[in-house]
């Protein structure tokens, strides 16, 4: 798609912020900033942890590219502030952002819509007892996954293989979030699928199959090593890939996402059933990130991807008209 760069005006690339993913956000933001500037956009770095958002209005910014990850950037809070300021922004609106960052709420919605996602048990900090841990293991089986309900980049995530390790895993997750998600482990291929656009115009980009050392796709392997294999084309059959893409698009639309996002999924090796894990509404844009990788496979450069995402910046009230 062709984008009139002059019509975009003065652009703030929001990066950094106050979440546990600050360092990754800075990496994403710097990449986006350089890409937009290379295409002639009047783009500027803006760190909400260091400056008041009021400056966006007083300094004449026309739109924002949100390269923030996690809380205070991907959870509807910054989106709500930008709504009040009247400054269009990239990605999903307030409700979709706040839903998608909460993995438990996301699961509840997907299950209500009949979309497949692993079974789960919710534990809450300070309100669970040893018997609750035993019940989670009995319900979900071993191994299982324990993670904070509202963190990304695998922060606080543990794969639990023994019942005696549950307490430590739950404590680790509870240190980051009051809600702890215990989730059925799906043995099989790990996949990710980016989406661009909104509503009926939303389209899935090529799937990426992720092959991590010993299946350990953790924070270190995601961003700071070259040990992970990313397969695009995924190696799945065209029929299987289309079915997973359709599931991701249904998940994206059910949450009310717009602009762009990236869904993570697993495919059960025994049954071939795909399971949705989560929806990332402000995906990473670092050198190791998956949306740019998938976009390249579809013939879209990093720079043009950034420009296209920026061109889709909107406000909730504009969408509601």
Just list the catalytic residues: 21, 153, 223, 262, 264, 278, 280, 284
Q: How far apart (Å, rounded) are the C-alpha atoms in residues 35 and 304?
A: 8
- For 118-269, where are the E strands, in sequence order? 120-124, 144-148, 158-160, 179-184, 188-196, 203-204, 208-211, 229-231, 260-268
Q: How far apart (Å, rounded) are the C-alpha atoms in residues 216 and 114?
A: 29
Report H helices in 86-210: 94-101, 103-112, 130-140, 166-174
Contact 192, 262 (CB under 8 A): yes
Three-state SS at 298: coil
Contact 122, 294 (CB under 8 A): no
> In this structure, how many other beta carbons lie within 10 angstroms of the beta carbon of residue 20?
18
Q: Cis peptide before 93, with omega less than 30 degrees from 0?
A: no
Total residue length of the chain: 321
Q: Which residues contact 239 (CB under 8 A, 6 or more apart)?
A: none
Q: How far apart (Å, rounded) are the C-alpha atoms in residues 162 and 28?
A: 36
Q: Which residues contact 52 (CB under 8 A, 6 or more apart)?
A: none
């Amino acid at each position: 798609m062709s984008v009139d760069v002059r019509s975009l005006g003065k652009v703030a690339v929001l990066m950094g912020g106050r979440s546990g993913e600050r360092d990754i956000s800075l990496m994403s933001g710097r990449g986006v900033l350089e890409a937009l500037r290379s295409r002639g956009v009047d783009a500027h770095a803006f760190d909400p942890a260091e400056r008041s958002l009021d400056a966006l209005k007083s300094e004449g910014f026309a739109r924002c590219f949100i390269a923030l990850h996690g809380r205070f950037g991907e959870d509807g809070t910054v989106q709500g502030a930008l709504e009040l300021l009247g400054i269009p922004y990239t990605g999903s609106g307030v409700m979709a952002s706040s839903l998608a960052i909460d993995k438990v709420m996301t699961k509840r919605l997907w299950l209500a819509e009949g979309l497949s996602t692993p079974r789960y048990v919710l534990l809450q900090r300070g309100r669970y007892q040893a018997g609750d841990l035993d019940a989670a293991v009995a319900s979900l089986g071993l191994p299982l996954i324990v993670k904070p309900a509202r963190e990304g980049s695998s922060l606080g995530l543990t794969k639990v293989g023994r019942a005696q390790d549950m307490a430590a895993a739950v404590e680790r997750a509870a240190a980051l979030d009051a809600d702890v998600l215990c989730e059925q482990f799906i043995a099989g291929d790990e996949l990710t699928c980016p989406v661009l656009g909104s509503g009926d115009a939303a389209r899935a980009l090529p799937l990426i199959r992720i092959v991590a050392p010993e299946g350990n796709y953790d924070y270190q392997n995601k961003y700071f090593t070259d040990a992970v294999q990313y397969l695009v084309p995924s190696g799945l059959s065209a029929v299987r890939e289309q079915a997973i893409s359709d599931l991701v698009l249904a998940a994206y639309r059910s949450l009310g996402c717009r602009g762009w996002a990236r869904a993570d999924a697993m495919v059960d090796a025994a049954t071939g059933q795909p399971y949705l894990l989560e929806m990332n509404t402000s995906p990473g844009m670092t050198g190791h990130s998956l949306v740019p990788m998938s976009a390249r496979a579809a013939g879209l450069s990093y720079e043009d991807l950034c420009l296209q995402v920026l061109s889709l910046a909107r406000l909730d009230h504009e969408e509601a008209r």
